[in-house]
Amino acid sequence: MRRAATILCLLAALAAQAAAPALAQQRSGRPAASASKDAKDAPKETNAPADTPAPYDRDLMRMSEIIGALAFLRGLCSAPDAADWPARMKALIDSEGVTPARRDRLAGAYNRGYRGYALTYRVCTPAAHEAAARYVAEGDRLSHALAGRFGG
């Protein structure tokens, strides 16, 4: 119930804001081979939460991607709310990232959204404003749909 309330607050903030890097989950920096070796050697925890997808995961991943895109675009265009997005993404990861794999998926979705525009835009243009406005509209629709279906 706490997680649902946190999600609804974050989604309401997205819908209420005009539009827009959330702090992406930092990787451990270890090579993949070392990480997989450690995973094999570590004892399995029976108390660890299962990494089963929630029914709203697809929408939540899309919301993370939208936050990433808006974070870049709003920062590029020096919007007043550009600095708010890192805290929002961190709160989303903190509330929904119950397992390392889930945190990685959320951060990956954010990074896809952010990098998609970082590769193309160097200065704020009318097209960047339009893209941000469209993401705000999509985020608003998505947040209302999530709140209506899973808001409890």
At residue 143 the predicted structure's pLDDT band, cuts being 50, 70 and 90, is: confident
Q: Is residue 43 part of a domain?
A: no
Q: Is residue 94 part of a domain?
A: yes
Structural domain harbouring 124: 2-22+56-150
Q: Is residue 93 part of a domain?
A: yes
The share of the chain scoring above pLDDT 70, in percent, equals 66
Q: Is residue 45 part of a domain?
A: no
Mean pLDDT calculated for residue range 16-39: 38
Q: Is residue 68 part of a domain?
A: yes
Would the pLDDT of 44 be above 50?
no
Most confidently predicted of 24-38, 46-60, 61-75: 61-75
Q: For the segment 102-138, what is each residue's pLDDT rounded down to a tens digit?
A: 999 999 999 999 999 999 999 999 999 999 999 999 9
Mean pLDDT calculated for residue range 33-40: 43
Give residue 75's pLDDT: 93
Give residue 7's pLDDT: 52
Total structural domains in the chain?
1
Q: For the segment 70-104, what is each residue's pLDDT rounded down to a tens digit?
A: 999 999 999 998 888 778 899 889 988 888 999 99
Q: Is residue 48 part of a domain?
A: no
Q: Is residue 30 part of a domain?
A: no
Give residue 2's pLDDT: 46
- For the chain, the three-class secondary structure string (H helix, E strand, C coil) is CHHHHHHHHHHHHHHHCCCCCCCCCCCCCCCHHHHHHHHHHCCCCCCCCCCCCCCCHHHHHHHHHHHHHHHHHHHHCCCCCCCHHHHHHHHHHHHHCCCHHHHHHHHHHHHHHHHHHHCCCCCCCHHHHHHHHHHHHHHHHHHHHHHHHHCC
Q: Is residue 144 part of a domain?
A: yes
